[in-house]
Amino acid sequence: MKLEAKGISVAIKGCRIVADASLSISSGEMVGLIGPNGAGKSTLLKAMLGIRARAAGTITLDGRDFLTLPGRERGRSVSFLPQERRVEWRLPAYDVVMLGRYPHMSGFGGPTSQDRAAVERALQDVDGKGLAGRPVAVLSGGEKSRILLARVLAVEAPILLADEPITALDPYHQLHVMEILKERARSGVGVLAVLHDLAFAMRFMDRLVLMDRGCIVADGKPAEVLTPELLAAVYRIDAVMGSHGDRSFLHPWSRQADAAGGRDAEP
């Protein structure tokens, strides 16, 4: 399965947020959408889902126009983990995860055994079985993130989009979430995640898409994208590279002094 966005443009009051961006995500790959603050990453993601209105561009799922598909079919095909962490109402964790089965349930019927099995699997994957009975509102940050991730996993959609899934988590949980997503990718789901953390992007992603001021400036393997030149041009930083065993790693090291007064003068 392949979700492809072509030529997406999003503007608010004439101010360009995303300009002519194209990217695709296919089953089995883990793609990171990276870029500085304000680059338009979340906006592009939401435009792909149809949550954000776009001025131009097409979004297709295996060639079919994604946004004209019926809502439930869209929900079953592409799952989304938003930045919003708030769950209204004091729902127990199990029920929150069950909400992920919404696109599969119909009419006034309750959850089927298939739904329950999917929820169990999702809870298992995030190591959250012990949390099932507790209200989400009283869980810690890490626990809540896992449950919300389980909600997304429960949809069992072939494409999974995540908006900053590891922000505000401690290192243990950051690693845990990335491992879960990687595991999913290996089992055939296409994962597209917006990330700020370049170290994680380098380490876990098969492919990176780099955005800068609304445009996509690079799309390729991590080593091809996270080059010193691009890091300097887009992020204005220098990074330290190294290797640990057979894996390379990257760590942002210092800011670059910007002589020309810089990017903040841009509209």
Partner 1 sequence: MKPPIPYLLLIALLLALLAALAFLSMLVGPAAAGTFELLGLMGQGEGDIAWLIMREVRLPRTALALMEGATLGLAGAVLQGFLRNPLADPGVIGVSSGASLFAVLMLYTGLSAAFPLALPVAAIIGALLCVLILQGLAGRGGVLTLILAGVAISSLAGAISQLAMNLSPNPYAATEIMFWMMGSVTDRSLDHLALAAPFMVIGWLVLAWSARSLDALSLGEEAAASLGVNVQRTRTLIVVGTAICVGAGTAVTGGIGFVGLVVPHLLRRLVGHSPSRLLLASALGGASLLVAADILVRIIAVGAEVKLGVVTALIGAPFFLWLIFKARTELES
Block residue for tokens 């869980």: 139
Per-position DSSP letters for 166-211, written without gaps between them: TTT--HHHHHHHHHHHHHHHHTT-EEEEE---HHHHHHH-SEEEEE
Stretch that binds partner 1, among 56-64, 68-76, 223-231, 257-265 (CB under 8 A): 68-76
Alpha-carbon Rg for the chain, nearest whole angstrom, is 19
How far is residue 97's CA from residue 175's CA, in Å, rounded to a whole number?
21
Please, which of residues 26-55 interact with partner 1 by CB under 8 A?
A: 46, 49-51
Please give the structure tokens belonging to residue 156.
């069992």
Please give the structure tokens belonging to residue 131.
């949390």
Q: Which is nearer to partner 1, 36 or 135 (CB)?
A: 135
CB 232 within 8 A of CB 191: no
Stretch that binds partner 1, among 26-34, 83-91, 196-204, 226-234 (CB under 8 A): 83-91
Please, which of residues 106-135 interact with partner 1 by CB under 8 A?
A: 108, 132-133, 135
Does the footprint of partner 1 cover residue 70 (CB under 8 A)?
yes
* Phi-psi group of 152: left, alpha or beta (phi > 0 → left; psi -120 to 50 → alpha; rest → beta): alpha
Mark 147-166 with x for binding to partner 1 (rule: CB under 8 A) and - for no binding.
----x---x-----x-----
Q: How far is the CB of 101 from partner 1 (least distance, A)?
A: 9
What is the bridge-based pairing of β-strands 247-255 and 237-244? antiparallel
Does the footprint of partner 1 cover residue 167 (CB under 8 A)?
no
CB 105 within 8 A of CB 64: no
Stretch that binds partner 1, among 85-93, 198-206, 215-223, 233-241 (CB under 8 A): 85-93
What is the bridge-based pairing of β-strands 56-61 and 190-194? unpaired
Does the footprint of partner 1 cover residue 86 (CB under 8 A)?
yes
Please report how the helices 141-155 and 113-125 are oriented relative to each other, as an axis angle in degrees rounded to 10.
140
Does the footprint of partner 1 cover residue 1 (CB under 8 A)?
no
Q: How far is the CB of 213 from partner 1 (least distance, A)?
A: 24
Stretch that binds partner 1, among 102-110, 165-173, 186-194, 224-232 (CB under 8 A): 102-110
Q: How many residues of this chain interact with partner 1, rule: CB under 8 A?
A: 41
How far is residue 16's CA from residue 9's CA, in Å, rounded to a whole number?
8
Looking at residue 99, the DSSP 8-state letter turns out to be H
Q: How far is the CB of 184 from partner 1 (least distance, A)?
A: 17
Which residues contact partner 1 (rule: CB under 8 A)?
46, 49-51, 70-76, 78-82, 84, 86-92, 94-96, 99-100, 102-103, 105, 108, 132-133, 135, 137-138, 151, 155, 161
